[in-house]
Chain A
Amino acid sequence: MNLEILTPDKKLYSGEVYGVQMPGISGSFEVLEKHAPLVSALKAGRVKVLKDKNNHVSFFDIQGGFVEVLNNKVTVLVEGAVAVESAS
């Protein structure tokens, strides 16, 4: 599954991932391989990117935005996003 995180200032993330967790407007949800087409609004919170099954994760704090899932390609559009150093 391909993930792209875009902000107006730059491309924050781009690459193959196992899954991604996002703070949807009506609750947190996760997108995995072969997810159905989806358009959703995101609220402020933390995006968790699972690079593979072995718990390689990275985090991004966002102010809100949108996500589109189509044909195994996830595009996250966010404003005011910053990468968070993982605590582990």
Chain B
Amino acid sequence: MAGQLKEVRNRIKSVQSTQQITKAMKMVSAAKLRRAQDAITQMRPYSKKLQEMLSNIVSNSDGDMAMPLATDRPVEKVLMIVVTSDRGLAGAFNANIIKLAKLTINQRYPEQYRKGQVAIWGIGKKGYEHFLKNNYRTDATFKDIFLNLTFEHVQRASEAAVKGFLNREYDVVEIVYSQFRNAATQQFTVERFLPIPKVEKKKGDIKADFIFDPSQEELVTELMPKILNTQLYKAVLDSNASEHGARMTAMDKASENANVLLKNLKISYNRARQAAITTELTEIVSGAAALQG
């Protein structure tokens, strides 16, 4: 009896300490989530203005412009940039992204995959490791971006992708990442990175007599890589925020589950304790009765 009591007590202790950890992780994620969200809000005006500038230039030009980054060509070689996180314990976050990436390969590029023409750049350790283990063509160059999440780092990855596209190493580049909706919801998306969808002239754009320096064409050529940089940066920031959101929810669930477990354990502990007391009492009483008799 006493042995069982001790066992239950030990289990209660261990569940309690696990709960402490999950609670702490939840708090940490909440704080990190706020910072990640701030970063997204901070970059929004920049990327918005960049887009505006591009459409201003295009709207104020006559005729079509040659845009090498917006040219479709037959798809032979594919590059997938898969953004996952560096750490686990975020529920199904990483698993879902990897699943989506595989699904995209199977549905859209099965031919290319069979020929071994699908390359994967894993941003974030988890995804990279998974694809490495499963014999995909991976490249480790950019897996450590989350260690030091700055625009400059992300820029390097996006510039490498642009260069690969221009050198015809890749005919299409897709990003698989998780869009941040709110702390509890992530939307896993596949986004076309290259070639860029053609920029259409819009009716609502400002017609002004702009002075362009250098020419419009050169400006557009300069602007497009910058827009791509911000696009990838946004994807990475979104994934970062999603990761913390996902971890927060996962840890909240874990703490809750620990509570349920603790409640049940306490009931069985008290039951065992009471049983022990009852037996002891019976022994004493029957012992006394035997003496009297």
Using CB atoms and an 8 Å cutoff, list the residues of chain A in contact with chain B: 4, 6-11, 24-26, 36-41, 65-66, 68, 70, 75, 77, 79-80
Contact = CB atoms under 8 A, between A and B. Distances in A.
Given A8-B233, A79-B226, A80-B152, A39 B212 contact: yes
Interface in B39-54: 39, 42-43, 45-47, 49-50, 52-53
B213 A8 contact: no
B64 interface: no
B187 interface: no
* Best-buried of B42, B46, B56 by chain A (most CB within 10 Å): B46
Contacts, number: 80
Contacts of A25: 213-214
B213 A24 contact: yes
Interface of B: 39, 42-43, 45-47, 49-50, 52-53, 56-57, 150-152, 155, 206, 208-214, 218-219, 222-223, 226, 229-230, 233
B49 A77 contact: yes
A8 B56 contact: no
A68 B223 CA distance: 12
Given A6-B45, A10-B42, A79-B226, A39 B155 contact: no
B50 to A, nearest CB: 6
B210 A66 contact: no
A79 B151 contact: yes
Nearest to A38: B211
Contacts of B43: 8-9
A13 to B, nearest CB: 12
A37 B211 contact: yes
Contacts of B210: 37-39
